[in-house]
Amino acid sequence: MNHPKARIRLRSAWATTGMLVLLGLGSVPAPLAAQEAAAAVQDVTVTDVMLPLGGTLLKAPKLTASGTRLSKEDLAAILRPDSAVPWEQRLAKLDAGSLTIPVLTSENAGPGDNRQTVTYRDVVARDIRAGRVGELSAAGATVSAIAGPNRSSGTYGQVRATDLDLAALSRLYTVPGDGKGPVQRVYGTIQVSDVTYSDARGTTVKIARLDGRDLGGRQVPDGWSGAFAIVAGGFDESSDRRPLAGAAADLIAATSVGSLEMQGLSVSDTDPKGPVLFEIGRAAYSSSGAEGGTTLNNLSLSRGPLRIHVGRVAALGTSLAPTVATLQGIAAEPTGGPGFSDVEMRRLTPTLGNLTLSDLSIELPSEVEADRATPRDLRPSARGVLPDPSRPGAGKAFEPRAVEPRAVEPRAADIVADPLAVTVSPRPARRIALREANLAFGPPTEGVPSATRVTLSGLTLPADLLAGAPIFGMLPVYGYRDLDLDLVADATLDEKARDLALREVTISGRDIGTVRLSGLLGGIGPELFSGTLPAATMLMFSGSAKTLDLTVENAGLFERFLAAQSKDLSLKPDELRKEYVTASLLGVPIILGNSAAAKGIGAAMGQFVMKPGKLAVHAKSKEPAGIGFIDLGAARSPAAVLDRLDVEAKAN
241-251 tens-digit pLDDT: 899 999 999 99
What is the chain's mean pLDDT, rounded?
83
pLDDT of residue 141: 96
pLDDT digits 0-9 by tens, 341-375: 878 888 888 888 899 999 999 998 765 455 554 44
pLDDT of residue 286: 92
637 pLDDT more than 70: yes
Q: How far is CA 352 from the centre of its chain?
A: 12
Cis preceding linkage at 111, omega within 30:
yes
pLDDT of residue 240: 83
pLDDT digits 0-9 by tens, 174-195: 889 999 899 999 999 999 999 9
Nearest to 245 by CA among 320, 174, 333, 374: 333
2 pLDDT more than 80: no
pLDDT digits 0-9 by tens, 274-322: 789 999 999 999 987 665 789 999 999 998 888 999 999 999 988 899 9
pLDDT of residue 281: 97
Q: How far is CA 24 from the centre of its chain?
A: 38
Confidence of residue 57 (pLDDT cuts 50, 70, 90): confident
Q: What's 585's DSSP letter?
A: I
Rounded to whole angstroms, the Cα distance separating 165 from 185 reads 7
Q: 3-state class of 299 per DSSP?
A: strand
Least confident of 19-33, 48-62, 109-123, 476-490: 19-33
What letter represents residue 424's amino acid? Answer: V
545-555 CB burial, b ≥16 within 10 A, e <16: bbbbbbebbbe
42-72 CB burial, b ≥16 within 10 A, e <16: eebebeebebebbbbbbebeebbbbbbbbee
Rounded to whole angstroms, the Cα distance separating 594 from 515 reads 26
pLDDT of residue 109: 76
Nearest to 16 by CA among 130, 163, 116, 128: 116
Rounded to whole angstroms, the Cα distance separating 232 from 428 reads 50
Mean pLDDT of 85-92: 78
Rounded to whole angstroms, the Cα distance separating 284 from 437 reads 20
Nearest to 328 by CA among 218, 244, 222, 237: 244
H or E stretch covering 219: none
Confidence of residue 554 (pLDDT cuts 50, 70, 90): very high
Least confident of 160-174, 235-249, 552-566: 235-249
Q: Are 19 and 12 in contact (CB under 8 A)?
A: no
Rounded to whole angstroms, the Cα distance separating 4 from 19 reads 23
Rounded to whole angstroms, the Cα distance separating 46 from 26 reads 14
Nearest to 26 by CA among 51, 13, 44: 44
Percent of the chain with pLDDT over 90: 53
486-513 CB burial, b ≥16 within 10 A, e <16: bebbbbebeeeebbbbbeebbbbbeebb
Confidence of residue 160 (pLDDT cuts 50, 70, 90): very high
User: Which has more pLDDT, 375 or 574?
Assistant: 574
Q: How far is CA 395 from the centre of its chain?
A: 46
The winner for highest mean pLDDT among 73-77, 363-367, 462-466 is: 462-466
pTM of the model: 0.77
pLDDT of residue 429: 61
Confidence of residue 487 (pLDDT cuts 50, 70, 90): very high
User: With 0-12 CB in 10 A as exposed, 13-18 as middle and 19+ as buried, what is 639?
Assistant: middle
Rounded to whole angstroms, the Cα distance separating 195 from 152 reads 14
Residue 75 backbone phi and psi in degrees, to 5: -65, -40
pLDDT digits 0-9 by tens, 112-146: 677 889 999 999 999 988 878 999 999 999 999 88
Question: What does the DSSP assignment read for 301-362?
Answer: EEETTEEEEEEEEEEES-B-HHHHHHHHHHHT-SS--SS--HHHHHHTPPB--EEEEEEEEE
Mean pLDDT of 54-67: 86
pLDDT of residue 87: 74
587-625 CB burial, b ≥16 within 10 A, e <16: ebbeebbeeebbbbbbbbbbbbbbebebbbbbbbbeeee
433 pLDDT more than 90: yes
pLDDT of residue 40: 65
Q: 3-state class of 561 per DSSP?
A: helix
Angle in degrees, 0-180, between the axes of helices 223-233 and 4-23, rounded to the nearest 10: 160
Confidence of residue 111 (pLDDT cuts 50, 70, 90): low
Alpha helices (H) along 25-108: 35-38, 72-78, 87-91
Confidence of residue 534 (pLDDT cuts 50, 70, 90): confident
Percent of the chain with pLDDT over 70: 81
Q: How many CA atoms lie within 13 A of 637 on its CB side?
A: 11
Rounded to whole angstroms, the Cα distance separating 30 from 37 reads 10
User: With 0-12 CB in 10 A as exposed, 13-18 as middle and 19+ as buried, what is 93?
Assistant: middle
Rounded to whole angstroms, the Cα distance separating 172 from 93 reads 20
385 pLDDT more than 50: no
Q: How far is CA 537 from the centre of its chain?
A: 29
What letter represents residue 221's amino acid? Answer: P
H or E stretch covering 159: strand 159-165
Q: Are 382 and 372 in contact (CB under 8 A)?
A: no
Q: Are 495 and 450 in contact (CB under 8 A)?
A: yes
Least confident of 303-307, 388-392, 608-612, 633-637: 388-392
Confidence of residue 213 (pLDDT cuts 50, 70, 90): very high
Q: Are 132 and 186 in contact (CB under 8 A)?
A: no
- Please state, in angstroms and as integers, the Cα–Cα distance from residue 30 to each residue in 37, 94, 136, 458, 483, following that order: 10, 12, 19, 64, 73
Residue 556 backbone phi and psi in degrees, to 5: 130, -20
Mean pLDDT of 60-80: 88
